[in-house]
Amino acid sequence: MAVAEPLVTVVVLNWNGAHLLGDCLDGLAAQDLPEGQMAVWVVDNASSDGSLALLAERYPWVRAIANDRNDGFAGGNNVALREVATPFVALINNDARPEPDWLRRLLEPFSEPVAERLGAVSAKIVFLPRFLAVELATPGFTPGTLDTRELGVRVYRVEVDGEDVTERVLWDRVAYGPEGEGPGRFRWTRPAGMLLIPVDRSGDGEGPLRLGLRVAAETTKAVELTWSGGSGGGKAEPEPVDLEVEVPAGVPLVDVLNNAGSMVFRDGYGADRAYQELDRGQYQRPEEVFAFCGGAVCFRSEALGQAGVFDDDFFLYYEDTDLSWRLRSLCWRIRYQPAAVARHIHSASSVEWSPLFVFHTDRNRLLMLTKNARAGLAAREVLRYPLTTASLGLREVARSRHTRRRPPVRPTLLRLRVLGSYARLLPVMLARRRRIAARASVDRKRLERWLVLR
């Protein structure tokens, strides 16, 4: 009896992720599709941590594709996408854990009567693990005319039961971006907001949690921490001090949303819909979205055949929004499917706000707009970038005179690297812009109706 050809190929990109692959592939092995309908490929971006040996030993049913260099998210996935021959192809990050019905639910919309020109279906992505929601409150202050932010305290470290979880905390609801490096790295909080602290426990009833924060402030002042049914806190001082509180057993943990489809603001910045919102069921309706998230998505292969795959030059970040824009220019639609759930480990593969992150998000946003946006929007944002770079540099010089400290030069140098790389790629991007326009069946003005206000 002939073996049926697979319906869908699932591609997992890996770079030094041997510690992550097992849970991801075990989740794929548990998918509830009929036998033979799914093929799984792992593209390895020249890992040096034994990932390929792990695949050969524990996952012989997976096809391993060994890339001889690290081509990033875009180029690495493209190695597989250019070869896939199944009607559908799905991507999932190696640091994501699919629910057993994830792939079946992703495929369902393609079979609906209104599925014509449906090019991609984006999953609901939830952060892993669950989180303790803690409200922080402290007296605020404004540093001065050179820094008009309203600030609370500096947070250097967050611990749960003695484990450092600082980089896995979800900060957006309470803090500004990180400052400093090494042991002196910290985040300024706002006077009030919600800390979402990861708690890696299988249930809520395994005893109390020991929560620790290393904090400092401009003066001695109270810091209050409040959670469901209780509170605690202490005092911050000008020098870092450790605050410790005990959170009783049974305090409920919450699911936090990572992505419910993606969007682009009218200033050209891309964003995850629902990012860091508590999951209260508010995104449980399937709907059309402007863009998919590349961390968990399924494509109709025919759509990729027309629009092309990721732009290799992007390497990392914004490559999925760029491809979404190109799909839509060819009248392919993109759907968000809340029934297809994947759980994603925050910052498992890259560090948010690291130089790598900032370089590629800044540069690739400009590249994406150059290729896809109307000329006015693209030119405005490209020209704004060097002006903002100069303004930030001058502000740091003025601040250094006030504080009598040397101004930090690395942020400015990083932004200059962005401009240099953008300038080098500009002729290529303009050529691609012309090709996109020549093939488009939906004009840029109409597509920009999808862009949203902040």
Give the whole-angstrom CA distance, residue 1 versus residue 26: 28
Residues 322 and 389 occupy one common structural domain: no
In a domain, 449, yes or no: no
Residues 166 and 111 occupy one common structural domain: no
Determine what percent of the chain is predicted with pLDDT higher than 90: 87
Give tens-digit pLDDT for 164-204: 999 999 999 999 999 988 889 999 999 999 999 999 876 44
- Domain span at 427: 355-438
Region 209-225: what's the mean pLDDT? 97
- Per-residue confidence band for 349, with pLDDT thresholds at 50, 70 and 90: low
Region 301-319: what's the mean pLDDT? 98
Is residue 96 over pLDDT 80? yes
Residues 57 and 109 occupy one common structural domain: yes
Is residue 448 over pLDDT 90? yes
Q: Kindly state the tokens that stand for 285.
A: 């309706």
Region 238-264: what's the mean pLDDT? 96
Task: Pick the range with the lowest mean pLDDT from 143-152, 154-163, 316-325.
Answer: 143-152
Region 123-143: what's the mean pLDDT? 97
In a domain, 89, yes or no: yes
In a domain, 191, yes or no: yes
Is residue 407 over pLDDT 80? no
In a domain, 208, yes or no: yes
**Domain edge (last residue) among 345, 364, 380:** 345
Give the whole-angstrom CA distance, residue 280 versus residue 287: 17
Is residue 103 over pLDDT 90? yes
Q: pLDDT at position 395, please?
A: 80
Considering its fold, how many domains does the chain have in total? 3
**Domain edge (last residue) among 345, 365, 383:** 345
Residues 270 and 185 occupy one common structural domain: no
Residues 211 and 158 occupy one common structural domain: yes
Neighbouring CB atoms inside 10 A of 39's CB total 19
Q: pLDDT at position 204, please?
A: 47
434 forms beta bridges with none
Residues 13 and 68 occupy one common structural domain: yes
Q: pLDDT at position 351, please?
A: 66
Q: Are 237 and 220 in contact (CB under 8 A)?
A: yes
| Apex 326 CA angle, 88 and 431, nearest 5 | 130
What dihedral angle (degrees, nearest 10) is formed by the CA atoms of 353, 355, 360, 361? 20
Give the whole-angstrom CA distance, residue 401 versus residue 393: 13
Q: pLDDT at position 2, please?
A: 46
Q: What is the mean pLDDT of the chain?
A: 94
- Per-residue confidence band for 1, with pLDDT thresholds at 50, 70 and 90: very low
The CATH number given to whatever domain includes residue 48 is 3.90.550.10
Q: pLDDT at position 194, please?
A: 97
Residue-wise DSSP of 285-312:
S-EE-SB--TTEEEEEHHHHHHH-S--G
Beta strand 118-128 with 333-345 is: parallel
Residues 113 and 261 occupy one common structural domain: yes
Residues 80 and 109 occupy one common structural domain: yes
Q: Looking at per-residue confidence, does 114 or 369 come out higher?
A: 369
Residues 41 and 93 occupy one common structural domain: yes
